[in-house]
Amino acid sequence: MDDCRVVTITVDAAQTVSGLLMVPPDAVACYILAHGAGAGMTHPFMTAVAHGLHDRRIASLRFQFPYMEKGSRRPDPPALAHATIRAAVAAATLLVPGVALIAGGKSFGGRMTAQAQAAAPLPAVRGLAFLGFPLHPAGKPSDDRGRPLFDVRIPMLFLQGNRDALADTQLLVPLVQRLCAALTLLPGADHSFHVPVRSGRTDAQVLGEALDRLTAWCQAVVSGGA
């Protein structure tokens, strides 16, 4: 799609990272989309999200964390991840002036965004949206990772598969209720929003449902109704 623009984001004096910007005509909002721990901004899931949002009049700015930019498999320490997210937000402010900003992303990227927002509000960001929040490691149920979320003072949306091995719904649902946040459970979906054949649905249908919900929520946040 020729609407995808390669950009460079300056994290600090020593390093920059790559980004991909997609802006549809009359964009309702811009989603600053951070990738998961194991795959970068060009992963098929990230690409499908960006294109699907473009079709729904939501701009997106995907970006690499420094470790992914360097080809490493070890995620950056939180402080560097937070700094990268802040740099992406600053870049979006300049790249799509006047467009409301939503931040978040997939798994690790969403969690790091939440931590950054909890530590100090991300300038101009109106809400946080998580595409599979990693509440705990697989096989180790706990809601300890949810503690920083109570310091977030803007609307939040959790889009989660109800078979997500990194987010036990018995822990996630009450946590989201205590946060007074929004939650959409995707029936049959796992952490990657994949559904088994026996579900009668396809991964594309599940992702479409998630993006419809994300779009409606973004519109509500922008209008002040979320």
- Condensed to tens digits (0 to 9), the pLDDT of residues 24-55 reads 999 999 999 999 999 999 999 999 999 999 99
DSSP letters, 2-65, are: TTEEEEEEEEETTEEEEEEEE--TT-SEEEEEE--SSS-TTSHHHHHHHHHHHHTTEEEEEE--
For the chain, how many structural domains are there in total? 1
Structure confidence at residue 199 (pLDDT): 87
Say what the pTM is: 0.96
Q: What is the CATH number of the domain that holds 28?
A: 3.40.50.1820
Q: Which residues of the chain have a pLDDT value below 50?
A: 1
Structure confidence at residue 2 (pLDDT): 55
The CA distance from 141 to 179, in Å, is 19
Measuring CA to CA, which residue among 25, 23, 32, 19 is closest to residue 126?
A: 32
Q: How far is CA 22 from the centre of its chain?
A: 15
Structure confidence at residue 200 (pLDDT): 87
How many CB atoms are located within 10 Å of the residue 78 CB? 13
Instruction: Quote the domain boundaries for residue 10.
Output: 4-223
Structure confidence at residue 64 (pLDDT): 98
What is the length of the chain? Answer: 226
